[in-house]
């Protein structure tokens, strides 16, 4: 059984429902903003945007406008409140670290929304949150090649947009980590190296998900088998990690649902909760795997560049392509990890989707590992994978 993009949308929308329908207090938002030392004027009104979201499962998101009077003039400020609902996709969610990363990237001229205020005490909603400037652009869709701005573009515009996404990733990877001065990037996961830290962070996410899940024995066993396999592959990744290149700032979840666009322009890159130090090629591999995933069982959308074209474009933008097979392997490990996080939260009546989605992530991981080991014969051997039942 293969997993379709429609099945994927069903799973993600189920997770989005955990952060939807939450009543936010407009009064609390207003009061919080009004008391900020750098806020000028008097808020005379606030309006919450009640339109449903078309993407996003990692946190709560509320668009809103405030009407401000200052010096006899009335203006409208369009803002976004992003908040931890307690039911977010990642359980080690760190709003303060995300705020820190976004502030530094925005200051460096990178296209991220301007963050304004960080609510660490939960004064607005109860959990941590941040308020940012709204970007006036087209929002992404959970099915980017079936609905939303990518599919609404002409083939020529779509092609240009995908190359521009590669370009915006290359620009991120070219930013020296030291220039951002973001301490949280250097301590994520608590490993001896950033790579080990990310693996520890990902393994902890799985452990938390399985601790919190109420799974019958046969379902739980699937996850135990896959968790063991992910641990084995993680050991290979750590043993074969590059030793002759510096770490770079990477997004780590650069899927198509994380770009706001204006035609073929990338207006803003969203969702920085798993931003980390790593190797830029892993971001590109992640993006390419999404193109493959969304086109399972059907022809590639007209205007989408080939895999080879996008890889070559990235290499040209960076000056070289390094450690591609390794970065593909780490990207596949991360995606299999994310698969577990999604499927462990599916209801029991969606076991077919659960098995299909887990198998899809597992098969990609095994293919990528086999290709890596074929190219790098010195890699530690691994046992044959146990089947997922």
Of 59, 13, 1, 56, nearest to 347 (Cα)?
A: 13
Structure tokens at 3: 């997993």
Whether 16 and 10 have beta carbons less than 8 Å apart is answered as no
At 19 the pLDDT is: 46
At 311 the pLDDT is: 98
Q: Domain spans of the chain? A: 15-133, 149-375
Pick the CATH number of 15-133 from 3.20.20.70, 3.30.930.10, 3.40.50.300, 3.30.200.20: 3.30.200.20
pLDDT in tens, the chain (389 residues): 455 555 555 555 555 445 444 567 899 999 999 999 999 999 999 999 987 665 555 678 999 999 999 999 999 999 999 998 876 678 888 899 999 999 999 999 999 999 999 999 999 998 899 999 999 999 999 899 999 999 999 999 999 999 999 999 999 999 999 999 999 998 888 889 999 999 999 999 999 988 888 888 888 998 999 999 999 999 999 999 998 999 999 999 999 999 999 999 999 999 999 999 999 999 999 999 999 988 888 899 999 999 999 999 999 999 999 999 999 999 999 999 988 888 888 887 888 888 888 888 899 999 999 999 998 875 554 433 333 33
Q: What are phi and psi of 146, to 5 degrees?
A: -130, -25
Contacts of 340 (CB under 8 A, 6+ apart): 206, 209, 223, 226, 227, 230, 358, 361
At 88 the pLDDT is: 67
Q: Rounded CA gap, 111 and 103, in Å?
A: 11
Whether 341 and 210 have beta carbons less than 8 Å apart is answered as no
Tell me if 15-133 shares its fold with 149-375: no
Q: Where does residue 21 rank: exposed (0-12), middle (13-18), buried (19+ CB within 10 A)?
A: exposed
End-to-end CA distance of the chain: 12
Chain Cα centroid distance, residue 80: 18
Q: Rounded CA gap, 326 and 375, in Å?
A: 10
Cα within 13 Å of Cα(56), Cβ side? 23
At 339 the pLDDT is: 87
At 13 the pLDDT is: 54
Whether 295 and 144 have beta carbons less than 8 Å apart is answered as no
Contacts of 269 (CB under 8 A, 6+ apart): 110, 111, 112, 168, 172, 251, 254, 258, 259
At 299 the pLDDT is: 92
> Any idea what DSSP says for residue 303?
T
β partners of residue 130 = 82, 118
Q: Rounded CA gap, 223 and 60, in Å?
A: 27
β partners of residue 65 = 47, 78
At 383 the pLDDT is: 39
Pick the CATH number of 149-375 from 3.20.20.70, 3.90.1200.10, 3.30.1330.40, 3.30.230.10: 3.90.1200.10
Coil, strand or helix at 161: helix
At 98 the pLDDT is: 95
At 59 the pLDDT is: 74
Q: How many CB atoms lie within 10 A of CB 297?
A: 8
Q: Rounded CA gap, 161 and 266, in Å?
A: 7
Q: How many CB atoms lie within 10 A of CB 44?
A: 11
């Amino acid at each position: 059984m293969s997993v379709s993009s429609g099945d994927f949308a069903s799973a993600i929308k189920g997770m989005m429902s955990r952060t939807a329908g939450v009543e936010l207090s407009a009064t609390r938002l207003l009061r919080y903003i009004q008391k900020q030392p750098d806020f000028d004027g008097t808020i005379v009104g606030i309006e919450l945007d009640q339109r449903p979201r078309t993407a996003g499962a990692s946190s709560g998101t509320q668009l809103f406008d405030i009407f401000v009077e200052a010096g006899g003039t009335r203006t409208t400020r369009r803002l976004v409140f992003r908040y931890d609902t307690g039911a977010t996709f990642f359980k080690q969610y760190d709003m303060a670290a995300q705020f820190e990363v976004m502030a530094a990237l925005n200051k460096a001229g990178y296209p991220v929304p301007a963050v304004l205020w960080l609510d660490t005490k939960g004064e607005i909603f109860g959990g941590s949150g941040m308020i940012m400037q709204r970007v006036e652009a087209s929002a992404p869709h959970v099915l980017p090649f079936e609905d939303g701005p990518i599919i609404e573009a002409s083939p020529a515009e779509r092609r240009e947009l995908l190359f521009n996404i590669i370009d915006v990733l290359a620009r991120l990877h070219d930013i020296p980590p030291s220039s951002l001065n973001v301490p949280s990037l250097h301590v994520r996961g608590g490993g001896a190296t950033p790579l080990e830290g990310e693996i520890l962070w990902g393994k902890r996410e799985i452990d938390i998900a399985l601790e919190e899940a109420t799974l019958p024995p046969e379902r739980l066993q699937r996850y135990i088998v896959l968790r063991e396999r992910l641990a084995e592959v993680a050991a290979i990744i750590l043993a074969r990690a590059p030793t002759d290149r510096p770490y770079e700032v990477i997004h780590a979840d650069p899927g198509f649902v994380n770009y706001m666009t204006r035609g073929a322009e990338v207006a803003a890159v969203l969702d920085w909760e798993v931003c980390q130090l790593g190797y830029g090629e892993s971001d590109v591999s992640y993006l390419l795997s999404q193109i493959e995933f969304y086109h399972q069982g059907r022809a590639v959308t007209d205007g989408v560049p080939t895999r080879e074209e996008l890889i070559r474009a990235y290499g040209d933008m960076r000056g070289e392509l390094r450690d591609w097979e390794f970065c593909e392997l780490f990207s596949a490990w991360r995606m299999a990890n994310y698969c577990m996080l999604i499927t462990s939260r599916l209801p029991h009546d969606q076991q077919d989707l659960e098995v299909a989605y887990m198998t899809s992530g597992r098969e990609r991981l095994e293919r990528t590992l086999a290709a890596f080991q074929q190219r790098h014969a010195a890699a530690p051997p691994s046992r044959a994978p146990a089947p997922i039942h």
